[in-house]
Structure 1
């Protein structure tokens, strides 16, 4: 259950960063790209946690 919550939280924070920091310039990497990566990683983590929870229920 913890993995699902962390994944959803990462996805929400990533989406907020991606949508609100398009015009912010940093020297090395843009914050909107970091937000997009966070959203993708968070979604994947939540999905894998759900799949793991489903496998535990089948046993």
Structure 2
């Protein structure tokens, strides 16, 4: 049977590993979010350009 100190030490290791994993996931999600925001911005600019082009074509 493990002593209370050993149990707590093991639990602390598990918590630290879990925290490290969650931080890595968070960092990955932040990178994905940044990429998606960039793509959204590009898509919105393209949409505005297409609207302007369609407007010009309708007038002609």
Q: Which has the higher contact order (CA 8 A, sep 6+)?
A: 1
Give the gaps of 5 or more residues in structure 1: 1-21
Listed one character per residue, the Cα deviations across residues 1-59 of structure 1 (whole Å, up to 9, x for unaligned) are xxxxxxxxxxxxxxxxxxxxx92528xx8111101101100111111000000000111
Larger relative helix fraction: 2
Q: In the comparison of the two structures, how many residue pairs are matched?
A: 36
Give every structure 1 segment of 4 or more consecutive aligned residues whose post-TM-superposition deviation is greater than 6 Å. none
TM-score normalised by length of structure 2: 0.50
TM-score normalised by length of structure 1: 0.51
Find the structure with the greater CA-based Rg: 2
